[in-house]
Amino acid sequence: MKKSLSITTKTFIGMICFGITMGLIFPFYAHLFTEYKPGMKIYFIIGCLIAGISVGIAAFYITKFLILNQIKNISSNMKNLTNGGFDIKNRFFVDSDDVIGELFGNFNKILDYLEQIVNEIKNTSEGLIYVAKEVSMGSDNVASSSQKHIVNVKQIYNSVKTVHNIIEENVNNIKDVNKFASDGKTLITN
């Protein structure tokens, strides 16, 4: 399978081609307003091509600095999140009313959702601990309070079932986040 060019490479090539196009078009446009000294037209055209290529290269590096570094930052944090090396309470604050700002905003929403899930698991675990303590305290009177134990066992069963469902949902969400991070990494590396 043929591997396609990365977005960074495509951007670089596009900007260089744009610069070359400008370098080729400008001499024809300038010809409408200027007269060249004999033998100097070729130097003017070469100078325009060099200037166009320079503008293309400068535009690429400005784009790389302003946009691609931001995407690289979020990709790195996604990778850290999937590896467990990221504090889920961290958020990104990017003041940008475009797709980059939207990307960071959506990543923050994913973090909010994951933090909510972690808190639900914590609360459910605390509930299970409480129920387990209740069962332990009631075990001294098993014969006289068997009905109470049945109710507690049902609560434990329902709590465990709830935790199981939450964990299963978390696993699926983490897989989605991992795929998103992988797609983001592929986007950056390509």
DSSP string of 28-50?
HHHHTT--PPTTTHHHHHHHHHH
Can you give the pLDDT at residue 49? 92
Can you give the pLDDT at residue 55? 93
Cα–Cα distance measured from residue 104 to residue 73, given in angstroms and rounded to the nearest whole number: 10
Residues 78, 3 share a domain:
yes
Residues 190, 103 share a domain:
yes
Cα–Cα distance measured from residue 120 to residue 118, given in angstroms and rounded to the nearest whole number: 5
1-5, 31-35, 56-60 — which one is most confidently predicted on average?
56-60
> Which one has a higher pLDDT value, 181 or 25?
25
Cα–Cα distance measured from residue 160 to residue 178, given in angstroms and rounded to the nearest whole number: 26
Report the length, in residues, of the chain: 190
∠ CA 100-58-78, rounded to 5°: 30
Can you give the pLDDT at residue 138? 64
Alpha helices by DSSP H, the chain = 7-31, 41-63, 69-82, 99-138, 146-189
Residues 151, 123 share a domain:
yes
- Domain boundary among the residues 22, 53, 86 is at 86
Parent domain of 105: 87-190
Residues 96, 77 share a domain:
no
pLDDT band at 7 (very low <50, low <70, confident <90, very high): confident
Cα–Cα distance measured from residue 173 to residue 168, given in angstroms and rounded to the nearest whole number: 9
Per-residue pLDDT for 58 more than 90? yes
Structure tokens at 32: 């409408």
Cα–Cα distance measured from residue 79 to residue 111, given in angstroms and rounded to the nearest whole number: 13
pLDDT band at 56 (very low <50, low <70, confident <90, very high): very high
Residues 32, 11 share a domain:
yes
Residues 106, 79 share a domain:
no
Nearest to 89 by CA among 118, 55, 64: 118
Can you give the pLDDT at residue 1? 61
Cα–Cα distance measured from residue 74 to residue 17, given in angstroms and rounded to the nearest whole number: 29
- Domain boundary among the residues 58, 86, 114 is at 86
Query: For the chain, what percent of residues have pLDDT higher than 70?
Result: 87
Per-residue pLDDT for 142 more than 60? no
